[in-house]
Structures are given as structure tokens and as C-alpha cells.
Amino acid sequence: MIKACIFDLDGVIVDTAKYHFQAWRRLANELGFDFSEADNEQLKGVSRMESLEIILKWGGVALSEEQKIEWADRKNEWYKALISNMTPDEILPGVPEFLAQLQSNGIRIALGSASKNALPVIESIGLGPVFEVVIDGTQTTLSKPDPQVFRLGAQRLGLKPYECIVFEDAESGIEAALNGRFYAVGIGRPEVLGKAHLVIPGFVGLQWEEVVKAMGV
């Protein structure tokens, strides 16, 4: 019996991936190299410092630990400037309607994001009050595919993993959910998210009853 849904933020509720990409690309460019939007896929759901390591490897750039922290901070300032202008219009299509269905069915709603900026993002898009529990990158020590972020969410809700469905757009996020024995719905392409119990292209027209039926929960 499902009692709660735990949502990833970036790529599920809102498309902040484009802002992460712009800020990381600026960092790469200032360090003298470039990377593509396709490369950026590999950074989805990956923590800030791990993303930096991957990008530096792409550019063949070696930095001291101190320099890494400085560049990561710089990237975060650029990212924060980009997200400061976000509005509720940027909530991904179908998300508000799906959240409303959960509320009317008595299903509890939580957020499980790797981002340390999750709170300002949900506030600026007006969804702050919708999430009963928020677990973000400030509360975790282990990155997806470790299930820590979702386990903390379930714990805070007072529920077992098998009572929760995780909605994720990143392969590492689906793995995290499965590693924690949660039900998992992938938002995106089946080629990438095929391990999930159910994969959907997005929330437009999605009915809660259909999800329950399709997953046999």
C-alpha cells in the first residue's frame, strides 16, 4: 500500500538542468575548454564536487583542493543568480495537476534532491508548502546511487521504503531508489531508465490510478 511519493527535484519537478549546464559550461570556458549538452547528461543527479571532478577530467585540468573549492563556489554563485529569477511557470508540465491528485488521494509528498539549492528553488516556484518533508544535499553525505537521500525521506515520513514511490530522471537516482528497496518511476527515456518499475515521458495527463495499476502496488 503506497502512502507517499518522494520526488527528485532537478529534471522531475523543474528543469534546472539547463541552469546547471550554463553555469558549469561557463566554468569550463573560463578554464579554457568546452563540453556539450549531451555530456551534461552525465552530471544529472551527481553532487556538486563530483560534477566538478568529472568536468575537470573532460578538460584535462588539474587543480589543487583549494582551487576546486573556489571554482565550485564560483559555479554555485552563477547558478544561484540563474535560479533567482525562476517563477512557477517553470514547473514542468503536468506536475501541479499530478501533485493535486496525490493530495486528494491522501498520498503524502516529499522531496529527495542531491541539490544544496533545493529549498530556494521550490520556494521560487511556489511549491514550498506542498512538500511535507524535504531532504536535500545539505542533509546527505552519500550521493546517488546510494539510497541515503530517499531513506532519510522515508524515515522522516515514518514510512517503510515499500510504502513510497520515488520519481527520478537520472539513472543514478533510479539505482538509488532500487538500492533502498523503494518503488521507482523513471521520468524520461526507457533506454536510460529501464531498471525502474515504470518509465513515463512526463506528468502530462498522468493519472494516479494508472500509476498504481501499472506498478501493481
Contact partner at residue 180 from Mg ion, ligand B16, none, CB < 5 to 8 Å by partner kind: none
Count of CB atoms situated within 10 Å of the CB of 148: 18
Q: Report the alpha-carbon angle 201-51-65, nearest 5.
A: 170
Tell how far CA 71 is from the center of its chain: 22
Nearer to ligand B16, 80 or 181 (CB): 80
In the block, cell 541539490 appears at 115
Nearer to ligand B16, 47 or 179 (CB): 47
Please say if 10 is a catalytic residue: yes
Closest of 114, 99, 91, 100 to residue 170, by C-alpha:
114
Nearer to Mg ion, 10 or 171 (CB): 10
* Nearest-angstrom CA–CA distance, 24 and 55: 8
Q: Measured at CB, which residue is nearest to Mg ion? A: 11
Closest of 184, 111, 117 to residue 145, by C-alpha:
184
- Cβ 194 to ligand B16, closest distance in Å? 19
- Cβ 13 to Mg ion, closest distance in Å? 9
Please say if 15 is a catalytic residue: no
- Cβ 2 to Mg ion, closest distance in Å? 21
The contact set with ligand B16 (CB under 6 A) reads 8-11, 20, 43-48, 51, 76, 113-117, 137, 170
The contact set with Mg ion (CB under 5 A) reads 8, 10-11, 45, 169-170
DSSP assigned state of 176: H
Residues annotated as catalytic are 8, 10
